[in-house]
Structure 1
Amino acid sequence: MSQLLEKIWRAVDPSRLRALLMDLVDIYSPAGKEEDIQLFLEERLHGAGFAPRRQEVEEERYNLIVPLGRREPRLYLVGHVDTIAAWDLENYGAREENGLIHGLGSADMKGGCAAMVEAFLALAEVLPPEQRPPAGLLLVVGEEENGDGSAAFLQSFRPPWVVIGEPTGLSPCFAHYGYLEAGFTTRGRRIHSSLPELGHNAVESMLRVLLHLGRDPLFDRAGSRIAYSIRELTSSQAGFVVPDRCEAWIDLHLPPRYAPAELEAAIRAQTRAAAQLIPDLDLEVQFNFAARGYDLGTEHDLARALEDSYPRLGLDFACDAFRSHSDGNLFYEAGVKPLILGPGALEVAHTHDEQTPFAQVLAAAKIYAALCLRADSL
């Protein structure tokens, strides 16, 4: 196995990988509009001798499912091809500077997608079809919105393991935070802005609610492990008036073993208490989405494969928990074990200066190839 892996690693082509990543970043593929990038990847994979199959998600939107060999995959490499919308449609494309690939999606997660495709190209170059391990490549749509691509896949397939290439800086994440989305609406009484004492300001009520929640130890950033972020704050807009409606949306990322229902109950209790402190409070609370976290531990063959591979690649093997929401939560709920592992860093994802080190993308391709070789034992 060691000699075979070394041969496959030598087949990983840095120039081919760099060109592929630059091409992927240059293709604009916000969630809901992924057809161009899927057509590009489909053509590239066909040209390399693979037989990618389209799985329809909705009209003109589809996943690509690519078996490595002739056997039913027991491990899938999973990459989402969609990104958030561009900050600037004139300046979202790829550029390389000092070993960093900049551009929309370079970290989240076109770097991971490119590395997965390159891993498959190297494996196919070295191994004839009858000797290839039972692995597959899954390129999904819609992760940045509602995960509809992965949800469609899970309606038909339940492999034992998936490896999802979200940006982890190559730290293997066998544990994953849970997620809870909370929505708050306050209502007031509209009046001309010159007579605020005759109205009721919904924005002021919302600010008092948020300050009340922020004083709870659960949301103390220094002491709590819950990541609490006010994502949106909007109010009714009707000229020079006291606003009669305000909405806030909050993202909450929970440690792996913290139940979302437990946090929801705590927030509901806090908002009930707020009603006793804030005059004339009219508040509605809703929880539209929740996902459990998980911790798979490291007593399995994938962890052992990484422990063997990382020193040979000059990398430290140090596991972590993935803090963001991802399709990993969907796979786990469906009974599939997800490992989150990819190049790039969460800190730069969804920012104006998204970037990923090319050295990490190259290492990721070799890591993914090593994991595919272990698929038989899963």
Structure 2
Amino acid sequence: MPLNLEDLWKAVDPERLRRLLVEMVDIYSPSGKEEDIQLFLEEQLHGAGFAVRRQEVEEERYNLVVPLGWREPRLYLVGHVDTIAAWDLEDYGARDAQGLIHGLGSADMKGGCAAMVETFLALATALPPEQRPPVGLLLVVGEEENGDGSATFLESTRPPWVVIGEPTGLNPCFAHYGYLEAGFVTSGRRTHSSLPELGHNAVESMLRVLLHLGRDPLFERSSSEIAYSIRELTSSRAGFVVPDRCEAWIDLHLPPTGDPAEVEAAIRARAETAERLIPDLDLELQFNFAARGYDLGTNNPLARTLAALYPELGLKGGTDAFRSHSDGNLFFEAGVKPLILGPGALEVAHTPDEHTPFAEVLAAAKIYAALCMQADSL
């Protein structure tokens, strides 16, 4: 007799999920140092009877790959276990207060990872092996840096679909922004700071370049679809001198239909006009990373499942485009269809007040379970 969703959801254990999330947040796991949390999760999954495979990314860094049943997965639940570095190493751990789980990575994306692990525990509890859907769990490293964990997975495996638990407030995202990273370097002439007229100040040149770039209609925040943010601004630190070098890095998040190559060309063209306006400008440009966005639309089995499911869970329907960068871009470029959907809010990720509502984490586990049950139709 087929299992209905209500019976499956009864196997989702809220207290087990809460404990798991708090313990995960308490484990410091910045990009490049993920082994402690992978060892913890491996132990949890092994203890529940799963066959867990380590997929080496580099020495002492590996993904965890967990099939649910005996069939080749057609859907993977994908979560990254790494976080950004802590703001304060004395204060990065979990705090459970008034329905919110606070702490580094609670939203981005240990909340999603915990919900996915709980989904697998519930599926294994509720379903005998012969009834388990063809799904897998993939816990990757390195998303906050260069996505090397997902890139390694994609070298050997390309399922039809993945669900990535980035923080979307449980809003399904079948579309995804693209991304372009732009680097600027201005060079000047160093002299004693009491004699600035004898030097050339690279910081002043950089500020003028950035102001000139920001006046381009392409980056006008009130009208442009491009999210443009100056991420870093640094100069030579010799002390009491006119700086002879300044470096800036800019993040550009492009709408799903945007072309990173076109934006790069526009930036280069704008920079050429700056050379005519800024005396003695010595400017170098770097574009080290770019990823195209995508829009999968909503004419697919997962979108239809969610449209029917959300009213049952008391959740608002509708879809959105994921505005940040994620491993979803890598999966799409490899021919895999990614759905971005997870608990927590993007606006608190990477901030000292990072948190996620536990109710969303619990709902995410139920949503993931329902999506897993559709894997045969993908």
Q: Which TM-score band applies after superposition, normalised by the shorter structure?
A: over 0.9
Partner of 1:337: 337
| Amino acid in the other structure paired with 1:352 | P
Q: What pairs with 1:124-273 in structure 2 (closer than 5 Å)? A: 124-273=124-273
Q: What pairs with 1:285-324 in structure 2 (closer than 5 Å)? A: 285-324=285-324
Structure 2 Cα separation of the partners of residues 110 and 216 of structure 1: 38
Structure 2 Cα separation of the partners of residues 178 and 280 of structure 1: 34
Structure 1 Cα separation of the partners of residues 299 and 327 of structure 2: 23
Structure 2 Cα separation of the partners of residues 3 and 36 of structure 1: 36
| Amino acid in the other structure paired with 1:233 | L
Structure 2 Cα separation of the partners of residues 202 and 224 of structure 1: 29
Partner of 2:78: 78
| Amino acid in the other structure paired with 2:303 | A
Query: Shift of the alpha carbon at 1:129?
Result: 1.1
Query: Shift of the alpha carbon at 1:264?
Result: 0.3
In structure 2, runs of 5+ residues without a counterpart are none
Structure 2 Cα separation of the partners of residues 302 and 137 of structure 1: 17
| Amino acid in the other structure paired with 1:33 | K
Partner of 1:51: 51
Structure 2 Cα separation of the partners of residues 189 and 89 of structure 1: 39
Query: Shift of the alpha carbon at 1:222?
Result: 0.9
| Amino acid in the other structure paired with 2:283 | L
Regions of 4+ moved over 2 Å: none
| Amino acid in the other structure paired with 2:227 | A
Query: Shift of the alpha carbon at 1:268?
Result: 0.3
Partner of 1:62: 62
Query: Shift of the alpha carbon at 1:318?
Result: 1.3
Partner of 1:29: 29
Query: Shift of the alpha carbon at 1:23?
Result: 0.5
Structure 2 Cα separation of the partners of residues 333 and 131 of structure 1: 32
Query: Shift of the alpha carbon at 1:130?
Result: 1.3
Tell me: CA distance 1:254–1:2, structure 2 relative to 1, closer, same or farther (3 Å): farther
* Secondary structure, aligned partner of 1:57: strand
| Amino acid in the other structure paired with 1:275 | E
Query: Shift of the alpha carbon at 1:153?
Result: 0.1
Structure 2 Cα separation of the partners of residues 117 and 309 of structure 1: 20
Partner of 1:41: 41
Query: Shift of the alpha carbon at 1:317?
Result: 1.1
- What is the RMSD computed on CA atoms of the aligned residues? 0.9
Deviations 1:189-214 (A, max 9, x none): 11111111111000000000000000
In structure 1, runs of 5+ residues without a counterpart are none
* Secondary structure, aligned partner of 1:44: helix
Query: Shift of the alpha carbon at 1:10?
Result: 1.1
Deviations 1:97-119 (A, max 9, x none): 11000000000000000000001
Structure 1 Cα separation of the partners of residues 180 and 327 of structure 2: 14
Structure 1 Cα separation of the partners of residues 168 and 182 of structure 2: 26
Query: Shift of the alpha carbon at 1:2?
Result: 8.8
Deviations 1:313-365 (A, max 9, x none): 00011100000000000000000000000000010000001000000000000
Query: Shift of the alpha carbon at 1:290?
Result: 0.2
Query: Shift of the alpha carbon at 1:241?
Result: 0.7
After the TM superposition, which of the residue ranges 134-143 and 1-10 deviates more from structure 2? 1-10
| Amino acid in the other structure paired with 2:196 | P
Partner of 1:282: 282
Structure 2 Cα separation of the partners of residues 198 and 56 of structure 1: 55
Structure 2 Cα separation of the partners of residues 99 and 5 of structure 1: 25
Query: Shift of the alpha carbon at 1:6?
Result: 1.2
Structure 2 Cα separation of the partners of residues 86 and 198 of structure 1: 42
* Secondary structure, aligned partner of 2:192: coil
| Amino acid in the other structure paired with 2:236 | S
Structure 1 Cα separation of the partners of residues 141 and 224 of structure 2: 34
Partner of 1:15: 15
Structure 2 Cα separation of the partners of residues 6 and 103 of structure 1: 32
Tell me: CA distance 1:2–1:301, structure 2 relative to 1, closer, same or farther (3 Å): farther
Partner of 2:4: 4
Deviations 1:249-293 (A, max 9, x none): 000000000000000000000000000110110000110000000
What is the TM-score of this pair, normalised by structure 2? Answer: 0.99
Structure 1 Cα separation of the partners of residues 247 and 20 of structure 2: 42
Structure 1 Cα separation of the partners of residues 149 and 198 of structure 2: 51
Structure 2 Cα separation of the partners of residues 157 and 201 of structure 1: 51
Query: Shift of the alpha carbon at 1:4?
Result: 1.6
- Determine what percentage of the aligned residue pairs are the same residue: 83
Note if 1:120 corresponds to 2:120: yes
Structure 2 Cα separation of the partners of residues 42 and 153 of structure 1: 17
What is the TM-score of this pair, normalised by structure 1? Answer: 0.99
| Amino acid in the other structure paired with 2:371 | L
Query: Shift of the alpha carbon at 1:49?
Result: 1.1
Aligned residues between the structures: 378
